Structure 1
Amino acid sequence: MDFDHLPDTADWWAADAVICALGTTQRAAGASGSAAAFRQVDHGYAMAVARLARTHGTPAFILNDVQLEDAVRIGALWLSPVSAVDLSDVEAVFDDLRGYSVRVDGESRRRGAAKEFATALPPGCGLQDKHAFVAKRDGLPVGLLDIIDGYPGQGVAFIGLLAVNESLHGAGIGRQLYAEAERYVRDRLGAHTIRLAVVEANPVLGFWQRMGFAQTGESKPYGGGTVASRAILLEKALGSASD
């Protein structure tokens, strides 16, 4: 099939669900292996399929993307895509984020936090825009990373969560996770800006400033469980990989 010229009138677009397993690697994306060719296969073609399915009334689109060639090694860490089918690793990390949960939710373990991490989306975004990962060290889950592509606009990626097991704070895992998030956003998603929000009740503003983020001057009321606070918006412009 020619994915550059998909048959937009084919009756088989109308289905109960469309499952897209299309993907490639940087090396295999054309003779040049360019970032643009890579993004076209892994993002552009999948989006084209999703739009045609929606146009023909198909109610569900599932993107089965191996992401990061199934898993990527970052020093002693392995970063793997999260499956909503098996949330046991995500649950294990949230079990070690009780201090964070108290600060942002007012309770030590919010029910449904793992499922929300794997599935929650901001307005106007679909599952194809969500990139959720679990970090492992020596086979054990030690952190979480959630990225939303194209939010709040084209060329922008939003970090919904970057969290490290509280028992491992100070080991440099957060820095490693952020470095990989930035590489992924720039090279895989083709974004030029990263945004995120910090809940004022959660004292991590200094970490993000050390990562190169600056406050935008925007803030929004935040309410999580019994906690009433503010969400402070931060932003970082990205250079090229050679910068």
Structure 2
Amino acid sequence: MDEIDMAGGAPVTVRELLPEDEKGVARLFAACGDYFTAATGSAALPADVQSLYYALPEGAEFDQKRLLVVCRGGGVVGLVDLVDRYPDAESCSVGLFVVAPEARGEGVGSAVAGRLIEEGAGRGTRKVAAACPGGWEPGLGFLRGLGFAVGEPEELTGETLGNRTRQPAETGLRRAWLNLG
């Protein structure tokens, strides 16, 4: 993926996460405390950045995993963690999609998601799966705005949700899916 022009704002660049991005992603995670608290009950930890590299659902291969950073003005303003061709060859599962608070409401997330959906559809993706904390309205609104169907809150733990295993503190998560064709 490359540069995405933003109407009325600075363009963003979307690219694969590099080891030197770790500090920027750690700052992003700290800034996105509202999301992490809603999702897990606590703020993100520095080790959460490193664990992104290894978080993979059962049955998926490491070559299916994509960690993408969204950059603007030299800084990281977003991150997308997805597993392509999971749980089947025509699906994509998104485990994490966060945008820094200072970039929210500017269309950054929608532009990046739109480009990823377009590229996925061009490669044969027919379904995108995601999850969102049940009470986190910014995320639920974002998913609905993209056309995702959002399910009811679920209380089960220890199962795969999106592209990762749900943790015990993650209650009330809502599955979301988008059919592309």
Query: Structure 2 length as normaliser, TM-score?
Result: 0.81
Count of aligned positions: 167
Fraction of identical pairs, as percent: 22
Aligned twin of 2:173: 231
Distance 1:99 1:215 in 2: 20
**Correspondence for 2:44:** 109
Quick one: which amino acid aligns to residue 231 of structure 1? L
State the structure with more CA Rg.
Answer: 1
SS of the aligned residue for 2:44 comes to coil
Structure 2 counterpart SS, 1:174: helix
Q: Which of the residues 199, 210, 219 maps onto 2:133? A: 199
Contact 1:220 1:230 in 2 (8 A): yes
In structure 2, what is the equivalent of residue 176 of structure 1?
111
TM alignment of 1:119-138, pairs within 5 A:
119-138=54-73
- With over 3 angstroms needed to count, the CA separation of the structure-2 counterparts of 1:162 and 1:149, relative to structure 1, is same
- SS of the residue 2:89 aligns to: coil
Distance in 2 separating the partners of 1:130 and 1:209: 25
Is the alpha carbon distance of 1:219 and 1:123 closer, same or farther for their aligned partners in structure 2, counting shifts above 3 Å?
Answer: same
Q: Deviation of residue 106 (structure 1)?
A: 2.1
Mark the CA change 1:217 to 1:94 in structure 2 (over 3 Å): closer, same or farther: closer
Q: Paired residue for 1:99?
A: 34
Name the structure, 1 or 2, with higher relative contact order (CA <8 Å, separation 6+).
2
In structure 2, what is the equivalent of residue 160 of structure 1?
95
Q: Is the contact between residue 104 and residue 224 of structure 1 (CA under 8 Å) also seen in structure 2?
A: no
Instruction: Give a deviation string over 1:36-94, Cα, whole Å, max 9, x none.
Output: xxxxxxxxxxxxxxxxxxxxxxxxxxxxxxxx3xxx00110000101357522322211
Provide Cα deviations, 1:103-140, integer angstroms capped at 9, x if missing partner. Answer: 22222233421112233111111110101100001111
1:74 is matched with: 4
Using the alignment, how far apart are the partners of 1:202 and 1:117 within structure 2?
A: 22
Contact 1:143 1:165 in 2 (8 A): yes
Decide which structure has greater strand share: 2
The answer to whether 1:213 aligns with 2:168 is: no
CA contact (8 A) 1:157 1:194 kept: yes
Match of 2:23 among 63, 71, 88: 88
The residue identity in structure 2 corresponding to 1:199 is: P
Gaps of at least 5 residues in structure 2 are 6-10, 158-165
Instruction: Give, in angstroms, the shift of residue 177 of structure 1.
Output: 1.6
